[in-house]
């Protein structure tokens, strides 16, 4: 693994991989692979590889057929292989671009209710 430069003061410096998935002309056929796609996401989450994921939507909230994923991987090559294995991508319903991304700043809150079986992400 190549040594990474120090992110500098006031920066977290965690490396993730952003996967930008864009719909192809066949995106309208992707329902045939949706169950396998969701299983793929669940597997990545269980393995600790998936940080965040979700579809791009129109202003109406309906998926456009594309999406964004933030992956944990040891290298760009590993992240590209993970993205290629998504049944939507492997089936030709989307094309992907994978880019390294360094998380430096930001904030979020997470509230988990064990008795209420609920979580709130802000």
CB atoms within 10 A of CB 88: 25
Query: What's the whole-number mean pLDDT along residues 64-83?
Result: 95
Who contacts 46 (Cβ-Cβ below 8 Å, separation ≥6)?
Answer: none
Asked whether residue 38 carries a pLDDT value surpassing 70, the answer given is yes
Residue scoring higher pLDDT (56 or 11) = 56
Domains of the chain: 14-121 (3.30.70.1060)
Query: What's the whole-number mean pLDDT along residues 70-99?
Result: 95
Query: What's the whole-number mean pLDDT along residues 36-49?
Result: 93
Query: What's the whole-number mean pLDDT along residues 50-67?
Result: 93
Who contacts 13 (Cβ-Cβ below 8 Å, separation ≥6)?
Answer: 4, 6, 7, 102, 103, 104
Query: What's the whole-number mean pLDDT along residues 44-69?
Result: 93
Average pLDDT of the chain, as a whole number? 89
- pLDDT value at position 76? 97
């Amino acid at each position: 693994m190549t040594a990474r430069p120090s992110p500098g003061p006031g920066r977290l410096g965690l490396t993730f991989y952003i996967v930008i998935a864009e719909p192809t002309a066949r995106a309208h056929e992707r329902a045939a692979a949706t169950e396998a796609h969701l299983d793929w996401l669940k597997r990545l989450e269980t393995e600790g590889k998936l940080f965040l994921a979700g579809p791009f939507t129109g202003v109406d909230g309906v998926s456009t057929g594309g999406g964004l994923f933030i992956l944990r991987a040891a290298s760009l090559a590993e992240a590209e292989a993970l993205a290629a294995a998504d049944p939507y991508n492997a089936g030709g319903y989307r094309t992907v671009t994978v880019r390294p991304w360094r998380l430096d700043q930001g904030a979020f809150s997470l509230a988990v209710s064990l008795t209420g079986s609920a979580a709130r992400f802000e």
